[in-house]
Amino acid sequence: MPYSARFKQKMVEKMTGPGAMSATALANEVDVSQPSLSRWLRDAKLGKMPKSDKPFRGEKWSSTEKIRLVREAAGLVEPELGAFLRREGLHRADLERLTREVDQAALETFKRQARRGHTPEEKEIRRLRKELERKEKALAETAALLVLRGKVKAFLSAEEEGDTDEKSGK
């Protein structure tokens, strides 16, 4: 089975870094043969290990890369999932963390869109509410004008009859 350069580099780090493990102990942990691990370690020491351009688990993954990994892993069953994880240089915990991050980002996006009212129905409701508010204002203005018109008519008809307060000097 071909392993990614990133996976090989990670295994070499586990055999050389702080708390280094032997190739035999690591082989039992990650289900890779001890001779393969020893060969990768030897190649790394000789500078023959190919470099990977993909980030390690501890580095920042792009959102596109996270989504790709989660989507590809979603439909895989156990034997295929293990091969996928090895090929990508991931552990199951990494995949679970990436899945949580992708889910959380999607949920936040949906909430943000809901607050802004992006659906066509919500836009139509907003438009209709504005139109209703405009018409209510116009109706209130018209009602006020009608009341004033009635008062002016009443005042003018009372003046013609001589029924105003001017006679009394007020």
Residue 59: pLDDT band (50, 70, 90) is low
Q: What's the rounded mean pLDDT across residues 30-37? A: 87
Mean confidence (pLDDT) of the chain: 81
Residue 21: pLDDT band (50, 70, 90) is confident
d(CA 118, CA 125): 11
The yes-or-no verdict on residue 147 having pLDDT over 90 is yes
Q: Which of 57-61, 136-140, 141-145 is least confident? A: 57-61
Give residue limits of the domains in the chain.
1-53, 58-116, 123-163
Residue 7: pLDDT band (50, 70, 90) is confident
The yes-or-no verdict on residue 164 having pLDDT over 80 is no
The yes-or-no verdict on residue 17 having pLDDT over 80 is no
Task: List b or e across 140-163, with b for residues whose CB sees 16 or more CB atoms inside 10 angstroms.
Answer: eeeeeeeeeeeeeeeeeeeeeeee
d(CA 32, CA 23): 9
Q: Which of 14-18, 41-45, 134-138 is least confident? A: 14-18
Q: What is the DSSP string of the chain?
A: ----HHHHHHHHHHHHSTT---HHHHHHHHT--HHHHHHHHHHHHHT-SPPP-SPPTTSPPPHHHHHHHHHHHHT--HHHHHHHHHHHT--HHHHHHHHHHHHHHHHHHHHHHHHHT-SHHHHHHHHHHHHHHHHHHHHHHHHHHHHHHHHHHHHHHHHHTT-STTTTT-
Per-residue pLDDT at 149: 92
Q: Give tens-digit pLDDT for 68-107.
A: 888 988 888 888 888 888 888 788 888 888 899 899 988 8
